[in-house]
Structures are given as C-alpha cells and as structure tokens.
C-alpha cells in the first residue's frame, strides 16, 4: 500500500488524522520497527521497577526515584524517535525498508543524535528551565531537530540556520500542535489505562500483582508501555508537521530536495 502525500497546509487536527492513516496503512512496517524496541524498553523498565519494588506493596514511592523513571522514559522515547523518523522518511518516497536497514542507519547516527536530542535537550529543559529561553529553544526553535539531523543530515552552523529558518514565524503553529498533542496523549493514556484495567479484571489479574496496578503513576509498568506506544503516533504526527511546514514555507518538491540533500551529504562525507 502507498499514500499520496499532498503538499498543502494542514490544520493540526488534519495532521493528527493523517498520522493515523499513515500508521494504519503501514501498520506492519511500524510494528516491525517499533515493537522490538518498545518490548525491550518496557522489559528494562519492568525489571527496574521489580528490582526496587517491595514484595507486597510495590515501590517505595519516592520523588527521587520517580524522577529517575521519568528520565529513563524521556531517554527511551527520544531514542525510539530516531528509527521512526527514518522510517517515515522512507515511506514518504514509497520505499519499504526492513528493520535491519533502519537499525543500521540508526546506529550510525546514534552518537550525534544522542548528544543533541538527549544531552542538550535535557540540559535546556532541565537545569536551564528557569531561563525560559532554554525550554523555548528546545520545544520550538529546535522542534524539528530530529528531522534535520536524520533526514537533512546538516551539522554545525548549517543545522542551526536551518532550524532557525524552519522555526521563524512558526511559534504559534508549533504551540497549537503541542496543545493538540497533549490533549490526544491524555485521551490515549486514560483510554489505554481503562482498557488494560478491563482486560486484567476480566482475566482475574486485577489486584493480584502490584506491578499490574493501573493507576496513572510512573511506578506502573503499564504506563511506561502506553507512553512508548503513543510515541510512535507522536513521532509520525511530528514528521507530517515537518513535511507540512516545508510545503507551506518553501513550496518544495519533497522527493527531489530531500534526495538531493542526502546525495550531497553522502558525497561530502565520502
């Protein structure tokens, strides 16, 4: 199956609807790329929670450990975004890479991606959150950094100029996109927790094991699973917003410009 990516300005609601269509049409591709990583990350988080949990009472609910779990989820969601951005870029051109292809490309880009999207982003939204400029830079000015790093492969001053150009005049639209994303995420989280609670209750598992607790808590492994699953949708919607922004601002021919940028980058590094 394939999708025609019409190059036109879309409202936030249309972008999220389109993201659902993309995932539905290419569900097997998304499942093949995202599922192994989601299972791995969820298993790691479950192991951490079980290791630090009390036999009958679950975790000792400390703020410090909650922040550790939040940091782990932030790291995992960010790392999961890299192969998903690459997958979306391939699907844009109606190419269907294997999990191995995406994994190899992701590993090659991982050190630089990790530095920018994990270390620097955590710095801007953590210790520098009090400056206001830091979070704004991370959430708005550098909103498309994942796409610029993974697809356009720009570096240094070229990358910074590109991010600034994409962000100029887009602050309001990006803010609206983030509001939509927050609303959809909340709805997904509540419906997911209720659905899992219903499944566990039907199976007679509700209340039997503390680590199957369906409360909205960072100490609930099910919550971690839902956050990671939603990140697949979030990354796809964000990628489509990137395509929408380039179409709106540049009126570009997607395949020619992106393909040419990749060829030029590969030629420059070879």
Among candidate residues 156, 164, 232, the one with its CA nearest the CA of residue 192? 232
Nearest-Å Rg of the Cα atoms of the chain is: 20
Residues 94-142: tens digit of each pLDDT = 788 888 889 999 999 999 999 888 888 777 777 666 666 666 677 777 8
Q: What SS3 state is found at 81?
A: helix
Confidence (pTM): 0.83
CA separation for the pair 255, 90 (Å, rounded): 10
Which residues have C-beta within 8 Å of that of residue 36, sequence separation ≥ 6? Answer: 99
pLDDT in tens, the chain (270 residues): 556 666 666 788 889 999 999 999 999 999 999 999 999 999 998 888 877 765 445 555 567 777 888 889 999 999 999 999 999 988 887 788 888 889 999 999 999 999 888 888 777 777 666 666 666 677 777 889 899 999 888 888 888 888 888 888 777 888 889 999 999 999 999 888 888 777 877 777 666 666 666 667 777 888 899 999 999 999 999 999 998 888 777 765 554 555 555 555 555 555
Q: List % helix, strand, coil for the chain (3-state, nearest 5).
A: 80, 0, 20
Residue 173 has, within 13 A of its CA and on its CB side, a CA count of 20
């Amino acid at each position: 199956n394939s999708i025609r990516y019409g190059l036109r300005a879309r409202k936030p609601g249309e972008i999220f609807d389109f993201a659902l269509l993309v995932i539905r049409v290419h569900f097997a591709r998304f499942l093949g790329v995202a599922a192994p990583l989601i299972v791995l990350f969820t298993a790691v988080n479950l192991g951490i929670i079980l290791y630090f949990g009390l036999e009958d009472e679950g975790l000792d609910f400390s703020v410090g450990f909650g922040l550790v779990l939040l940091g782990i989820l932030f790291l995992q969601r960010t790392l999961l975004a890299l192969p998903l951005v690459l997958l979306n870029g391939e699907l844009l051109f109606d190419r269907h890479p294997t999990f191995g292809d995406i994994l190899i490309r992701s590993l090659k880009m991982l050190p630089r991606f990790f530095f920018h999207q994990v270390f620097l982003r955590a710095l801007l939204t953590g210790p520098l959150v009090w400056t206001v400029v830091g979070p704004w830079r991370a959430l708005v000015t550098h909103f498309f950094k994942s796409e610029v790093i993974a697809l356009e492969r720009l570096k240094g001053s070229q990358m910074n100029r590109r991010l600034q150009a994409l962000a100029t005049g887009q602050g309001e639209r990006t803010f609206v996109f983030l509001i939509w994303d927050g609303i959809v995420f909340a709805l997904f989280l509540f419906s997911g927790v209720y659905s899992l609670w219903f499944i566990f209750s039907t199976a007679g598992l509700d209340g039997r094991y503390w680590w199957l607790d369906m409360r909205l808590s960072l100490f609930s492994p099910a919550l971690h699973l839902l956050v990671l699953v939603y990140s697949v949708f979030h990354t796809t919607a964000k990628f489509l917003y990137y395509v929408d922004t380039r179409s709106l601002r540049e009126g570009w021919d997607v395949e020619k410009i992106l393909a040419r940028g990749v060829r030029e980058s590969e030629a420059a590094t070879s």
